[in-house]
Amino acid sequence: MKLARREYVQQAHKYADHQDKIDIAGWYASEKLDGFRGIWDGGLSRGQRVGDVPYASKVIVTSGKPKPHLDKLATGLWSRYGNPIWAPDYFLNQLPSCLLDGELWAGRGNFQTVSKTCKRQTPDEDAWRGIEFKVFGSPNPFLFFQDGHAKSGKNIDLEIRADEIRAWMATLNPEIVGDLQVVDGNFIHELSFLTEALSSLPDGPASLHQQVMLSADTEMAISELDELNEKALAGGAEGMVVRDPQQVWTPKRVNWVLKVKPCEDMEGEIVGFTSGEETDKGSKLLGKFGAAVMRMENGLEFNLSGFRHEERVFAEERMKAHATDNPGVRMPADFQGKYFKTGQVITFKYREFTEDGLPKEARYFRKHEVL
C-alpha cells in the first residue's frame, strides 16, 4: 500500500498537542536523546554505490542537482533524510543483520560533537569511539521500503518504490539478503526482538535504549512521566519520548510516539541581520549583529537572539564598520555573518506563539543539520 505522505523514518508528534486526547497509560517512556538519528539497513547497502541504492536521497532539493557523493560507497547507515553516514568499519562490523532505528549519541549536551563526526566523509575513528548507537526500534523492511513520496522542505525529495528496491535487492549477495532478520509486530515485539539481537553481540556501539513502562492507571502514568521528565531535565537532557507499545513502526509522523519537552523548537530561515547596539551592560554588541532576522514557513518574520558574542561577528570589516555607525537597525541585504549566512536554516527554541503567530521567548538553539 502506498502512503499518500511518508517520511523517511518514523517521526514523533508533540505531547503538548495531544495530551488531552491520548491516554498514555501502559506506554513506554525513554529519554529524548540529543543525538543524530540513524537507520541501519542491516548491511544491505554496505559497499554499494550510493547512487545505485534506491532509498538513497540523490538530489539537492534547492537546486535539483545530483548530490556530490553518489559515486561513494554506502555504509548501510543512513540519516533521517536518506543521506549516507560514513561510520568506520570497526563500528559497522559490530552491527547485527537486522534493521535498526536509533540515535548516534555521545552523551548529554554533545550534539555538536556527534554532528561534526557524522558529517565527515572520511571517518575519524577516534571520534567515533566516543559514539554509541542507542537503538529504539527495528523497522520491518516491508514498512521501511513502503511506497511513498518522502518530502520535507529543503531536506529530502525522494520517491520510494518498493518494486525498485526488490529489483535492486535481487542483484545483491544472496547471503546478505538471506541473513536479514525481520521483526513482524508492534513495539512490544520490537523490544523483545532487539533484546535478543543486541545481547547476542559482543560489547559494541549498539545497545537498546532504556525504556520504562508507565503505570496502567492514567493518573499514575502522567505523574510518573512528569517525574521522569523533571529528572531528565535536571540532568541536562532535552526531555522524554513516550511510545504506544501496541503500534507498529510506520514511516510517517505519528501520534503514538510523542516528544515531551519544556520548550518547543522549530526551524526558520535567516533572511537578514540587525546591528547590535550599546546597552546598559556595555557596548559588546557594537559592530556585531544583534539579532538574526528569521522567516518561518508561514512567511512571518521576527528577530532572533540567543547567540554567543563570538558567533555574532560579521564576515567583513566594512560590515563591522557600518554596523558600528548604524546600531540597532536592519543591515543591507548583502551583509553576512562570519558563521551565519542568509538562506541558512537554523533551529530555535520558544515557549509558545503570540496571537499574531510569532514565537515567544525565541532563542537560537543550533544550526540545522540535513544529514
Domains of the chain, with CATH numbers? 3-260 (3.30.470.30), 264-367 (2.40.50.140)
Q: Answer yes or no: are the C-beta atoms of 338 and 313 closer than 8 Å.
A: yes
Q: How far apart are CA 271 and CA 293, in angstroms?
A: 6
Q: How far apart are CA 313 and CA 322, in angstroms?
A: 13
Stronger pLDDT, 187 or 298, i.e. the higher one: 187
- At residue 283, φ and ψ (nearest 5 deg) are -115, 30
C-alpha distance from residue 101 to each of 113, 119, 189 (Å):
20, 18, 14
The residues near 318 (Cβ < 8 Å, ≥ 6 apart) are none
Determine the Cα angle at 27 with ends 24 and 31, to 5°: 105
Q: Which amino acid is at 193?
A: F
Mean pLDDT of 7-12: 96
Q: How far apart are CA 50 and CA 52, in angstroms?
A: 5
Q: Answer yes or no: are the C-beta atoms of 68 and 174 closer than 8 Å.
A: no
pLDDT score at 261: 80
- At residue 122, φ and ψ (nearest 5 deg) are -105, 105
In tens, the pLDDT along 162-189 reads 999 999 999 999 999 999 999 989 999 9
Mean pLDDT of 20-43: 95
Mean pLDDT of 192-207: 89
Determine the Cα angle at 112 with ends 158 and 319, to 5°: 90
Q: How far apart are CA 273 and CA 319, in angstroms?
A: 11
Decide if pLDDT at 10 tops 70. Answer: yes
Q: How far apart are CA 189 and CA 314, in angstroms?
A: 53
Q: What is the DSSP letter of 51?
A: G
Establish how many alpha carbons lie within 13 A of residue 355's alpha carbon, considering only the half-sphere containing its beta carbon. Answer: 0
Please, what is the average pLDDT of the chain? 92
pLDDT score at 355: 79
In tens, the pLDDT along 97-147 reads 999 999 999 999 898 899 899 989 999 999 999 999 999 999 999 999 999
Mean pLDDT of 201-205: 82
% pLDDT > 90, the chain: 76
Q: Answer yes or no: are the C-beta atoms of 344 and 369 closer than 8 Å.
A: no
pLDDT score at 127: 96
pLDDT score at 279: 65
Q: What is the DSSP letter of 276?
A: -
Q: How far apart are CA 265 and CA 204, in angstroms?
A: 33
Decide if pLDDT at 70 tops 80. Answer: yes
Nine-digit cell string for 285: 554588541
Query: Which of 265, 269, 344 has the alpha carbon at shortest distance from 302?
Result: 269
What pTM did the predictor assign?
Answer: 0.78
Mean pLDDT of 253-273: 91
Mean pLDDT of 359-368: 82
pLDDT score at 353: 85
Decide if pLDDT at 282 tops 60. Answer: no
Q: Which amino acid is at 352?
A: E
Decide if pLDDT at 219 tops 90. Answer: no
Q: Answer yes or no: are the C-beta atoms of 49 and 84 closer than 8 Å.
A: no
Decide if pLDDT at 20 tops 90. Answer: no
For residue 289, the cross-strand partners are 275
Nine-digit cell string for 330: 536592519
Decide if pLDDT at 93 tops 80. Answer: yes
In tens, the pLDDT along 316-342 reads 999 999 999 999 999 999 999 999 999
Q: Answer yes or no: are the C-beta atoms of 121 and 69 closer than 8 Å.
A: yes
